[in-house]
Amino acid sequence: MSEKRVKQTDFDKLSEEQKREPMPYYQHTIEMARISLQAKRWFIFSMVLLSLFVLTNAGWIIREAMYQTYYLEQEVDTGNGDAYVSGIGDVNYGESEATNQNPGQKE
């Protein structure tokens, strides 16, 4: 069987004495600057991804809204006193347009 090679970090390469010594201040500030720069990059990356997500969803909603059309077809018996539909969504009461009268309205 082959042995796995483990990638050694700089910390692993130090001797036990060097590992016990405190980290110098300048090295600590360099590490903190590197970490804060990395955090800033991740934050900017996540904001770009979030804005792309919102924009693509808005684009799809706008695109789909362009093609939404509604058609209403209704067949109504035009017998005496029946309501009939004239136009889109208008309900008229009476036998024809000439005798159109709203309920409760006097002639």
Structure tokens at 98: 């000439």
What residue segments make up the domains of the chain, in order of their start? 25-69, 70-107
Full-model pTM: 0.43
- Beta pairing class for 83-85 and 91-93: antiparallel
Q: What is the DSSP letter of 7?
A: P
Question: Could you read off the pLDDT tens digit of each residue along the chain, which spans 107 residues?
Answer: 456 666 677 777 778 777 777 778 888 898 899 999 999 999 999 999 999 999 999 999 998 888 766 677 766 555 555 555 555 555 555 555 555 555 555 55
Task: Say if residues 50 and 57 touch (Cβ distance below 8 Å).
Answer: no
